[in-house]
């Protein structure tokens, strides 16, 4: 279990994965969650014009999404890099991006083939 110098457990180390598949799937799940929530929440507002708050909300969601994706893609590689495990850090990051790119490609193929 990950501990700080004080012996306390870091929850963000405890639950963060060094498995690139888990990280890429987590990013995909987050995207699906955000899109689903945005779709269902805005359903009743379809016939109403956008207000001043629509672009503000978009920027809020964008900022949150950037922070979540940075955590999912960069946190563990950065920790490894700081610990001096530079090769392992680069490998984890590259594998996570490769798996995420593969998931993205599969979704695009399914989308353009009319399956989804």
For residue 3, list its beta bridge partners: 9
2-11, 53-62, 88-97: segment of lowest average pLDDT: 2-11
Whether the pLDDT of residue 1 is over 50: the answer is: no
Alpha-carbon distance of 30 to 50, in angstroms, equals 25
For residues 15 and 67, which has the higher predicted lDDT (pLDDT)?
A: 67
Contacts with 38 (C-beta within 8 Å, 6 or more apart), sequence order: 61
Asked whether residue 6 is domain-assigned, the answer is no
Distance, CA of 69 to chain centre: 3
- State mean pLDDT over 84-109: 97
pLDDT in tens, 21-66: 999 999 999 999 999 999 998 898 888 888 899 899 999 999 999 9
Asked whether residue 13 is domain-assigned, the answer is no
Supply the range of the domain harboring residue 66. Answer: 18-112
* 103 within 8 A of 24, measured Cβ to Cβ: yes
Asked whether residue 81 is domain-assigned, the answer is yes
Asked whether residue 55 is domain-assigned, the answer is yes
Asked whether residue 7 is domain-assigned, the answer is no
Asked whether residue 3 is domain-assigned, the answer is no
How close are the terminal C-alpha atoms of the chain, in Å?
Answer: 41
* 27 within 8 A of 98, measured Cβ to Cβ: no
Instruction: Retrieve residue 11's tokens.
Output: 């929850």
Asked whether residue 11 is domain-assigned, the answer is no
Instruction: Retrieve residue 80's tokens.
Output: 């490894």
For residues 107 and 54, which has the higher predicted lDDT (pLDDT)?
A: 107
Asked whether residue 5 is domain-assigned, the answer is no
Rounded to the nearest 5 percent, the helix, strand and coil shares of the chain are 75, 0, 20
Q: Residue 9's pLDDT is what?
A: 55
In degrees, to the nearest 5, what angle opens at C-alpha 63 toward C-alphas 60 and 64? 85
Number of domains in the chain: 1
């Amino acid at each position: 279990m990950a501990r700080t110098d004080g012996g306390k457990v870091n929850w963000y180390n405890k639950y963060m994965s060094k498995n690139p598949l888990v990280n890429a799937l987590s990013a995909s799940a987050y995207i699906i969650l955000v899109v689903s929530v945005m779709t269902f929440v805005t359903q009743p507002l379809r016939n109403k014009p956008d207000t001043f708050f629509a672009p503000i909300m978009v920027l809020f969601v964008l900022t949150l999404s950037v922070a979540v994706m940075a955590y999912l893609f960069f946190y563990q590689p950065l920790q490894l890099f700081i610990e001096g495990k530079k090769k392992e850090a680069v490998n984890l990051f590259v594998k996570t991006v490769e798996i995420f790119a593969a998931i993205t490609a599969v979704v695009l193929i399914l989308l353009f083939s009319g399956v989804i």
